[in-house]
Amino acid sequence: MYFRFRSSVVANRINPINDSSGLLVVNETGNLVLTSQNKSVVWSANLSKEVRTPVVLQLLDSGNLVLRGERDCGSEIYLWQSFDYPSDTLLPGIKLGWDLKTGLERRITSWKSPDDPFPGNFIWALERQDNPESIFWKGSKKLTRSGPWNGLRFSASSLRQNPDFNFSFVSNEDELYYTFDLIDKAVFSRMIYVTVPRDLCDTYALCGAYGICIISDMPVCQCLKGFKLKSRGYVDWSQGCVRDKSLNYSRQDGFIKFTAMKLPDATLSWVSKSMNLNECREKCIDNSSCMAYTNSDIRGEGSGCAMWFGELIDMRDFADGGQDLYIRMSASELVDQGAKGEPRTEIVVIVISTAALLAVVIAAGHLVHKRRRNIVEKTENNRETNEVQNMDLELPLFELATIANATDNFSINNKLGERGFGPVYKGTLVDGQEIAVKRLSKISEQGLEELNNEVILFSKLQHRNLVKLLGCCIQGEETLLIYEFMPNKSLNSFIFGPDQEKCKILDWSKRFHIICGTARGLLYLHQDSRLRIIHRDLKAKYASDGQFSIKSDVFSFGILLLKTISGKKNRGFYHSDKKLNLIGHAKHALSDFDVGQRDCVASAKATRLLGGQEIYQTRLFIKHA
């Protein structure tokens, strides 16, 4: 049995009573206790000192269960109150945050399950820092954050002032908390469940440092102006972005104003309520660690100063709100802006003197360009629509709603990876079948013709060592390819991954089995399939700017074989004595064989290179058997 107080708190969440014998009493010392059948104390209010005057336990209309002196009835002087210990419910009047005098923290914690109030993994808490903000946690992992308080609301919150609620934020020497009250006392309110993240861009640090999430773009992650993606080759937004031009870390730097922003993670930030924006800028430019600043209060014309130190993380674009943020940039990055981030006077003079002429020319050019663009786009759209309708796909077509449901609306938690064509997501169909969904980006170089080729090729290929294409979805602006899901992921994760236990799983027999399985799949593509196909994407990093052929596939397979056998990467491996990379080391080792053995190897390669049929080029997936 759990003892529950008007939904605002469950007293004994961790220590339930196994029967209905629980008794809540005020003992002889004035303390509120919960006892079980054998009179042992299951839970206690733990008052810091004995209360010698008569006490009263009272349930207020607000839902707050209070213990107070008999003489204090009608006042707000409490010995103990349940509002100080909320469980999974936020009621009007509950303070989410801190009593700084006593160190008491009030946070919201989920139930373990709908019928088990034991504390779950999800926590909503107000962070105690110079620039406070509320955070939603899953265990020790940040799910999403509200942004700092801007005088009206938490800056990344969707809550707005309305006729029913009044939101308040208090930060002083004694208290730090957020609360809300009912304007209309006839209305009842109880906040118990919140769905977070609200969308993909609400996911904490999705785009890494200096990355900005734009929910209307594809991909949603972009680098801020003046920055570029840090990772090379495989797209990894968790690494964030780096500057195009290095800072001087002096007053030679300047600032660029970014508008409609969700302010960065405020853990490493500082606030002054007395400074104005100009004073804030001067203080920031003089501190080499300061990377951005803005007003801490947006009411009226703005006031206060908030400064960020270190990398800027977890930013997004807010089309219907957000705040201005001034980010530190190299002087050479400011282009037509002065050292203080303000337009240069001489440039302003030139612009004014030529503005009229430019306006006429630009306006005329814009009208002509717009008309031509509309004609071209209309023609192009009609052409692509007709081509899609005429595609002989020869495989099932999935509804977009089916795939969206299978991937939890393309949730970031289901994302397997991302390359130039776009992201890949794991999904589960209604019948329980696991799938991998390749979501082609709008900016992908893979066009309709390439998509058509890939679909037709896959539909004609049947081999146990090739990943199956289960179907596709072409609906609106979405182009999706649906493959069977490979639960063991990439071979690289076993051979080169940080988890050494995975590497130990691949003994020699398994590696030999993988090599043979890959060879069978490649042989099928080159020789036994109805269409002769170049794989082109065995992930062995051969020259990407060479001509693709069966020869390049065989060479690539050889590199893959060496890597699988040795567990070493071609790049980054050097023989300690001869300073050879993996290929050079293998070639040197091969020279130790006699001529007959080398000729045998050469003959085997030559046999594989024969064939004069038409060759189709595409990217395919080979299962590692």
Contacts of 375 (CB under 8 A, 6+ apart): none
Q: Report the distance separating Cα 574 and Cα 582, nearest Å.
A: 7
Contacts 24+ apart (CB under 8 A), 19-22: none
Instruction: Tell me the C-alpha distance between 122 and 144, whole Å.
Output: 11
Residue 174 among the catalytic residues: no
Q: What's at 488, amino acid-wise?
A: N
- SS3 per-residue string spanning 420-438: CCEEEEEEECCCCCEEEEE
Do residues 529 and 613 lie in contact, with contact meaning Cβ atoms separated by under 8 Å?
A: no
DSSP H helix total and E strand total for the chain: 10, 33
Alpha carbons 246 and 422: distance in angstroms, whole number: 30
H or E element in which residue 478 lies: strand 478-484
Gap between the Cα atoms of 336 and 326, Å rounded: 16
3-class secondary structure, 122 = strand
Residues 6+ apart with CB under 8 A from 368: none
134 within 8 A of 146, measured Cβ to Cβ:
yes
Cβ pair 343, 260 in contact under 8 A: no
Check: CB of residue 106 under 8 Å from CB of residue 134: no
CB 92 within 8 A of CB 16: no
Amino acid making up residue 264: P
Within 10 angstroms of residue 294's Cβ, the number of other Cβ atoms is: 29
Which of 608, 601, 602 lies closest to 549, judged by CA? 608
| Rounded-to-integer distance, Cα 433 and Cα 356, Å | 64
Q: How far apart are CA 84 and CA 175, in angstroms?
A: 13
Q: Is the Cβ–Cβ distance between 201 and 220 less than 8 Å? A: yes
Spatial separation of the C-alpha atoms in residues 114 and 110, rounded to whole Å: 9
The number of CA neighbours under 13 Å toward the Cβ of 121 is: 6
Do 11 and 43 form a contact (C-beta atoms < 8 A)? yes
Of these residues, 317, 537, 577, 599, which one is catalytic? Answer: 537
Residues catalogued as catalytic: 537
